[in-house]
Amino acid sequence: MEFISSSEDSGRFWVPELSGTDATALLDQFFDSPNVGFAIYDDHLRYAYLNEALARMHGMPVAAHIGRTVYDILGEAGPTVATAVREVLSTGQAVSNLEVIAKFPARAETGYWVGNCFPIEDASGRVTQVGGMIVELVGCRKLEGRLTERVLRTEAFLEASISLMSTLDEKQLAPAIADFVGKVVRNDFASIALYDRSIHRLHVYALGSPLPQELTGSGTVVPVTEPPYGPTFLHGEARFHNRDQMAASDSQFLRQLLNAGIQSVCFLPLIGRKKGMLGTLNLGRKAADGFDPQDAAFLTQVAAQVALALDNAAVYREIEELTDKLNKEKLYLQEEVRSNHNFEDLIGESPALQRVLGQLHTVAPSDATVLVLGETGTGKELIARAIHRLSSRKDANFIKLNCAAIPTGLLESELFGHEKGAFTGAISQKIGRLELADKGTLFLDEVGEIPLELQPKLLRVLQDQEFERLGSTRTIKVNIRLIAATNRDLAKSVSKHEFRSDLFYRLHVFPLRLPPLRERGKDIPLLVRYFVQKFAKRMNKQIETIPAEAMHALQSWAWPGNVRELENFIERSVILSPGPMLSVPLAELRAEHESPLPNATLETLEREHILRVLRETGGVIAGLHGAAARLGMKRTTLQSRMQKLGITRGEYQN
């Protein structure tokens, strides 16, 4: 009978029961090599057989092994061998190239072994035992040292990588890369060459090298084809140069390094995830065999970490730039809001305001014409802008035209535009607001002030979406959404024949009535706190408290000028506040509804009366419902009186 039979196809062995001196002698004869150990393990991880060579490796006699487990014999190496044996028993497949570096319990010095484990079948074909072929690499201290060095190097690599990846500021990146490279790769010279796409050249920077700057190439700008960086940068391949290659090189830089004592160098490609080739990582050592090409894989990983750090820093810089840009845009928009709207947002929780916001969200997605109604200072333009932002036209223009702020003779030109020579003073063609609002939104504020003779032309635009410029016969088609606003009662104006009924019905598709502030009593404390914070920040003041009696008085006041009046009053209060408590000039509120002083001059009374009317009309002077009409005088007469009385715009309109 054959002692061992095998199948080359399956890699399995069949072994009869091992008993008697003949079988043992045969095994010893078969595996009679001083550094080749052989063992058979049963399914309980116990030694069923081993040869003298393996026993010597373990440092104890053969007899001391039989019946004991790998844990008993191998100590710290036991789990590694046990795992391999169990895998063979469970899968029936061999385990190859098993590496063990350990000190056995009966052996003081560390040893290095490699081995294979293979299945052994019984007569029925079932795997019941595992054979192990173990080879001790005698005299492998150098190999062991290299393995230990690699383990330590890997640990240092991971630790240093964490530190490098956490560095996102480009100003701190170069020292961080130098620290990383110094910790994971022994070097006497290190630099980095980074590609500048704008000039198609490489910028060279030293990484904490002890060599003089002129020898590191730091600060120089070289072509991408310049050796020794060029070949690595252009082809993306690591390049290694020993002393002889450096001496024979055409590169003056390599010869300078050689003269400075650097006898081996390597150039590693830096490959980014998005932008591809970023540059090269350049290392040098004074040792002649400082860089082993067998370590190319590790050095490539070092370069990959440097490239990743460069990528991360670039992304971080882009994010910072975008954030800075957005912040600047935000500040710009806030300034625009301050200058155009007087208050920055609709603030409040009152049922009256919430009803308006619910209607706003309902109508905004449609293209329906909206008529925003409300007293002066309630935020009609802000509502119009909100409708535009929530509509499908949000990416197009929002064009505003205050119909009361433009003289009647110029309103038609502002709205429709004009051709050169259309009237005296028309020295060039002018694009009207309707054309500017094409595919967007046109907001007509104080629409009730449009003269009767101009109303049919606006009606045509609403009906047919077309018009002609002044002085032109060419019809221009537009696609606009109209939002109109007024503080007038347009229905009453229609009954008085001051406003066309057909235009009114066209504008009155979706009326949106804004509640006056006196109907939003719950919102006044919120608005007061908001305006206090806003103006205190702008004036660099620290206002922390608002007196309860002051807040009560503010809530009790009717605020005929609504939110605009409240905002201006709080701004004045912040100006008058010397400390952390808001100083509210409550006397001003009382004075507005008290009788004038008996000794007031006629001129003073006239001035106060004109100011009150101007405030009530929102600063509108001309027109049927302007201040001049209410005062029963011509526009020019009112302007003359205002100039004489020293009335400035800031007193009645902010």
Instruction: Give the domain CATH number at 86.
Output: 3.30.450.20
Q: Of 515, 535, 552, which marks where a domain is finished?
A: 515
Query: Residue 137's CB: how many other CB atoms inside 10 A?
Result: 14
Q: Please tell me whether residues 510 and 536 are part of one structural domain.
A: no
Question: Does residue 339 sit within a domain?
Answer: no
Query: What are the DSSP E strand ranges found in 398-513?
Result: 398-402, 417-418, 430-431, 441-445, 466-468, 475-477, 481-486, 510-513
Same domain, 135 and 151: no
Res 183: pLDDT: 79
* Residue 346 placed within a domain: no
Task: Please indicate, yes or no, if residue 279 is contained in any of the structural domains.
Answer: yes
367 with 416, same domain: the answer is yes
> What CA–CA distance (Å, rounded) separates 106 from 485?
98
The reply to whether 169 and 299 lie within a common domain is yes
Within 10 Å of residue 523's Cβ, how many Cβ atoms? Answer: 22
pLDDT at residue 29 in the model? 47
One domain, residues 150 and 266: yes
* Cβ contacts of 560 within 8 Å, gap of 6 or more: 375, 615, 616
**Structural domain total, the chain:** 4
Q: Domain check: are 36 and 85 in the same one?
A: yes
Could you say which of 481, 498, 515 is where a domain stops?
515
- CB 524 within 8 Å of CB 554: yes
**Domain limits at 532?**
523-652
Of 553, 557, 542, 539, residue with least CA distance to 584? 553
Q: Are residues 279 and 415 in the same domain?
A: no
The one-letter amino acid code at 119 reads P
CA dihedral of 569, 575, 580, 581, whole degrees rounded to 10: -30
Give me the CATH number covering residue 395.
3.40.50.300
State whether 504 and 533 are in the same domain: no
Does residue 385 lie within any of the structural domains?
A: yes
CA distances to 144, 299, 569, 639 from 154, in Å? 15, 11, 69, 85
Q: What's the Cα-to-Cα distance from 316 to each of 93, 311, 397, 525, rounded to whole Å? A: 50, 9, 33, 42
Q: Is 259 exposed, middle or buried (0-12, 13-18, 19+ CB in 10 A)?
A: exposed
**Any idea what the CATH number is for the domain that residue 270 is in?**
3.30.450.40
Query: Which parts of the chain sit beneath pLDDT 50?
Result: 1-24, 26-27, 29-32, 139-145, 147, 329, 331-344, 591, 593-599
Whether residue 508 sits in one domain with residue 362: yes
Q: Is 327 part of a structural domain of the chain?
A: no
Specify the pLDDT at position 14. Answer: 41
Tell me if 38 sits within 8 A of 134, measured CB to CB.
Answer: yes
Tell me if 188 sits within 8 A of 210, measured CB to CB: yes
Q: Beta-strand (E) ranges in 32-152? A: 36-42, 47-50, 95-102, 111-121, 127-136
Under 8 Å CB-to-CB from 151, ≥6 apart: which residues?
Answer: none
Residue 115 structure tokens = 């081995």
* Beta pairing, strands 221-223 & 239-241: unpaired
Does 228 sit behind a cis peptide bond, omega within 30 degrees of 0 on the bond before it? yes
- Residue 529 and residue 450 in one domain: no
Q: Are residues 160 and 41 in the same domain?
A: no
458 within some domain: yes
pTM tops 0.75, yes or no: no
CA distance 225 to 232: 9
Question: CATH number of the domain that 565 lies in?
Answer: 1.10.8.60
DSSP state of 515: P
Domain end (from 119, 139, 159): 139
pLDDT tens for each residue of 481-522: 999 999 888 988 899 888 999 999 999 999 999 999 888 888
* 65 contacts 55 by C-beta, under 8 angstroms: yes
Which pLDDT belongs to residue 484? 94
Q: Let me know if residue 234 belongs to a domain.
A: yes
Answer whether residue 286 is part of any domain.
yes
Domain identity same for 309 and 195: yes
Task: Find out whether 388 and 394 touch, Cβ atoms under 8 Å.
Answer: yes
